[in-house]
Amino acid sequence: MTTIPLAPATTTPGAGSPATPEAWSTAFASAFPYAEFLARHATPDQQKRWQGVHDRVRLTADERRILAGFVRRMPVLVLAGAWCGDCVNQCPIFDHFAAVASAIDLRFHDRDARPDIAAHLKVCGGQRVPTLAFFSEDFTPVVFYGDRTLSAYRAAAAAAFGESCPTGLVPPTADALAAVTGDWLREFERAQILLRLSARLRQLHGD
C-alpha cells in the first residue's frame, strides 16, 4: 500500500501539508468504476441493496439538462463502504449522474481497504462515508463533501438523532431519495461551475 505523500511544508507554523495533485492522481488511478467497486467489495446481499436503490433513482428532465451541460472534465473520487447504509442510499445516485454527464469521471475506493487515502478525507474529524473529492482535470482539489446531505440530516434530526449510519435494509422513500438526489446534484453542479469559471482553466482551454 502506497501512502499519499505530502506537499512541502507551508509557511504557517503547525498548518501541515495537504496531499499533492500528483498524489491524488495516483490515488484516483487505482480507484474503481462503480460496478467494479461493488464486484470487489460488496457481498451478494449488499449488491442487491445497492441495485435496489439504483433502480429507484429518477432524474428529472431539468436535472438531466443540467448534467448534460457539464463541459469540464471533473474527476470525482468517492470514499465508500459497501456495508454502509448511507452509501447504499446515496452512491447509486452518483452513477446516474455519471451516466448522463460524460464530463464526470467517477471512481470509488473502499474506506477500510485504503486507510492512507481515508486519512485525507475526514469529515468532522471522523472517517465517515460516503465522502467525495472533486478535482480539476489536473487533480487540483476543488472541494470535498460528505457524508449526508442537508435533506438527509434534517430527516435524521427529525427522527431524534437516530443511528449515525443506517443499515440500508429499509430503502428511502421516493420523496426522500428525490430530495437527496437534488442535494447532491447541487454539489456536483457547484464543483462544475467552479471549474468552468476558473481563470486558469479558461486560459488553458481558450474559452
Q: Residue 201 carries which side chain, given as an amino acid letter?
A: L
Q: Which three cell numbers stand for residue 41?
A: 467489495
What's the whole-model pTM score? 0.90
- CATH: 3.40.640.10, 3.50.50.60, 3.40.30.10, 3.40.50.1100. Which one for 21-205? 3.40.30.10
Domain layout of the chain by residue ranges: 21-205
For the beta carbon of residue 2, count every other beta carbon within 10 angstroms. 11
CB 10 within 8 A of CB 51: no
Q: Which of 40, 34, 37 is nearest to 104 (CA)?
A: 34
Walk along the chain (207 residues) and give the pLDDT tens digit of each residue: 556 665 555 556 776 778 999 999 999 999 999 999 999 999 999 999 999 999 999 999 999 999 999 999 999 999 999 999 999 999 999 999 999 999 999 999 999 999 999 999 999 999 999 999 999 999 999 999 999 999 888 887 777 455 545 555 556 788 999 999 999 999 999 999 999 999 999 999 999
Q: Which of 134, 138, 133, 132 is nearest to 194 (CA)?
A: 134
Residues 6 or more apart whose Cβ sits within 8 Å of residue 121: 79, 127, 131, 133, 144, 146
